[in-house]
Amino acid sequence: NTTQDTTFEYDGSSWTAGGNMNVGRKYQAGFGILTAGAVCGGNGSPGNRTETEEYNGTSWTTSGALNTGRETNDAAGGTQTAAITFGGENPGTDKLTNSEEYNGTSWSEVNDLNTATKRNSGGGTSVPTTLSLGGQSSTSPPGTAQVEQYNGTSWVTSASMATARSQIGKTQGNSASALVNNGANASDTYIVTTEEFTGETSALNIKTITTS
């Protein structure tokens, strides 16, 4: 139950220490890739953090601040210069709906989640392919199966997971194809199951109509 400022990098077989963050924190959200990554929010002395830190593969640099300090949120986006964070909690609000988009410099408020949620998981290879999965919601406090998709403008409710879960590991993939695993279920029991998400698809079904 303490904050950390250390970083470790993985090369496919082992972990090595990287540069330390400027602010120790816990329950933060992250996005980007190893040599162009970032974290935002989280909990650290004194309380919820607003600042973003960007990683260049060697060291961390402080960047734009969130409009709303938060922890237990998640974030998505395939790059350091285009990301979205959503949900979470802070001392004033137990579960948040608001979302913010990042352009590499600053955060801007965008449309809210449909359901206030904390401890949710996020995934997306770009901002318009973002998913928010599970968490503890305003309608299902222990854990929810809800899934919402962000289309670049607004959040739309999608097919629910088979198992209600919160405190999930990072979702891999995006709104077309994703993988989620582990977490705690609605009874607050840790689970080991994995689920795959397949986005909606459409195809032409053309037939020739003849008349007589």
pLDDT in tens, 145-176: 999 999 999 999 999 999 999 999 889 999 99
State the pLDDT confidence band at 138, using cuts at 50, 70 and 90.
confident
- In this prediction, residue 208 carries a pLDDT of 79
Residue 142 has pLDDT above 80, yes or no: yes
Beta strands at 15-17 and 29-33: parallel, antiparallel or unpaired: unpaired
Counting DSSP H helices and E strands in the chain, the numbers are 0, 23
Q: What mean pLDDT do residues 66-76 have?
A: 96
Residue 205 has pLDDT above 90, yes or no: no
**For 173-201, how does the pLDDT look when each residue is reduced to its tens digit (9 = 90+)?**
999 999 999 999 888 899 999 999 998 76
146, 138 Cβ separation under 8 angstroms? no
- 3-class state of residue 163 by DSSP: coil
- 3-class state of residue 141 by DSSP: coil
Measure Cα distances from 115 to 105, 157, 177 in Å: 28, 9, 22
DSSP string for 82-116:
EEEEE--BBTTBSSB--EEEE-SS-EEEEPPPSS-
Q: How far apart are the first and last CA of the chain?
A: 78
- pTM higher than 0.85: yes
Half-sphere exposure of 33 (CA within 13 A, CB side): 6
Q: What average pLDDT is seen over the chain? A: 93
- In this prediction, residue 202 carries a pLDDT of 59
- In this prediction, residue 170 carries a pLDDT of 87
- In this prediction, residue 201 carries a pLDDT of 64
Joined tokens for residue 185: 């279920």
93, 117 Cβ separation under 8 angstroms? no
Torsion of CA 61, 68, 4, 190, to 10 degrees: -130
